[in-house]
Amino acid sequence: MWKTIVRRFLIMIPQLFVLSLIIFILAKNMPGDPFTGLITPQTDPARIVELTEKAGLNDPWYVQYMRWVGNAFQGDFGLSYTYKRDVADLIGERALNTFWLSLLSVLLLYLIAIPLGILAGRYQNSRLDKTIVMYSFVTYAIPTFVLGLIFLFLFGYKLEWFPTSGSVDVQYDPGTFSYFWNKIYHIVLPSITYAILGTTGIIQYLRSEIIDAKAMDYVRTARSKGIPMRKVYSKHIFRNSLLPIAAFLGFTITGLLGGSIFIETIFGYPGMGELFVSSILSRDYSVITALVMLFGFLALLGSLLSDIIMSIVDPRIRIE
């Protein structure tokens, strides 16, 4: 298995290489450049020309690409044109924000979805089951921004239970406990929004797996051996039904850094989703390429993780 993992990592190198090439060419082919947005009637066109030249944007794309690859190998992803900061620092700051938000979201997501999925499957066709299925369809149909705004209005402004924007209040000093607590406080509402909306897939998978499993031979065997139904569910059916969910776990873990533009915009939370979209709009090439590379790497890593998790959960599966 270790051999396979090492091999998979080695294959990633050409994959990422091709990805970087594609994204670089596409990014450079977008109309405009980072300086287009700075133009005012007072702007001197000659200065824009000078800055473009200085930034090396007039070189042929392969020259720029080679320069970028050279620097990237030394861990230098350049300076953001918009934020005038080191890209790695900028992404690091946003990634940390996004990571905490996503982590809480995913925890809540599983906390809501798994019990509901199990109950729906176990008591199939009961009123409870129908309610859960209805709930999952309804949440599937609600757009993120609608629920986000409703929650914000209700719990943020009307009931004043939660803060309404940002990731932390300005008066706290980083490193203190109150700072940390205030941060958690800020991510609760967006996390709940995210968790409620994301449950459908897991509930449906789990429910249908359990319904299928109930009719399986091994369940009948277990029952005929006199094992109580409760135990059959917790020991036999549950573990088998979790397989499809485990299959996605790798992606879920690496997906923690993706961020959601809707949640971030509504709750005024600076995260990766916002950074990605705004960097594209402002043609912040260095940030775009670094982010796509990061997302690409995470996707590959996610699929590898999923395979590993599967082999642990289901001993019949072996990575060769």
Q: Which of residues 172-191 bind other proteins (CB under 8 A)?
A: 173
Q: Which of 28, 76, 93, 103 binds other proteins (CB under 8 A)?
A: 93
User: Binding to other proteins by residue 242, rule CB under 8 A?
Assistant: no
Check residue 164 for interaction with other proteins (CB under 8 A).
Answer: yes
The answer to whether 267 contacts other proteins (rule: CB under 8 A) is yes
Please pick, from the candidates 170, 177, 217, 225, the single residue that binds other proteins as defined by CB under 8 A: 170
Burial 122-145 (b: 16+ CB within 10 A, else e): bebeeeebeebbebbeebeeeebe
With beta carbons less than 8 A apart as the criterion, state whether 243 and 68 touch: no
Q: Give the nearer residue to other proteins in terms of CB position, either 22 or 138.
A: 138
- For other proteins, the closer of residues 166 and 244 by Cβ is 166
Task: Tokens for 219, please give them.
Answer: 């369940």
Three-state SS sequence of 219-283: HHHHHHCCCCHHHHHHHHHHHHHCHHHHHHHHHHHHHCCCCCHHHHHHCCCCCHHHHHHHHHHCC
Alpha carbons within 13 angstroms on the beta-carbon side of residue 301 total 12
CA distance 242 to 176: 39
In the set 278, 293, 303, 311, which binds other proteins (CB under 8 A)? 278
Identified binder of other proteins from the candidate list 3, 13, 14, 84, rule CB under 8 A: 84
Is position 47 an interface residue for other proteins (rule: CB under 8 A)? Answer: yes
Q: Which of 13, 29, 42, 316 binds other proteins (CB under 8 A)?
A: 42
To the nearest whole angstrom, how small is the minimum distance from the Cβ of residue 265 to other proteins? Answer: 5
Least distance (Å) between residue 113 CB and other proteins: 20
Distance CA 224, CA 192 (A): 42
Q: Which of 14, 31, 75, 175 binds other proteins (CB under 8 A)?
A: 31
The rounded distance, in Å, linking the Cα atoms of 52 and 34 is 9
Interatomic CA distance for residues 287 and 169, integer angstroms: 27
Residues contacting other proteins: total by CB under 8 A: 59
Residues 6+ apart with CB under 8 A from 120: 128, 129, 132, 133, 203, 206, 207
Shortest Cβ distance from residue 171 to other proteins (Å)?
A: 6
Contact footprint for other proteins (CB under 8 A): 30-32, 35-48, 50-51, 54, 82-86, 93, 130, 134, 138, 141-143, 145-146, 149-150, 152-153, 156-158, 164-171, 173, 265-268, 270, 274, 278, 281, 283
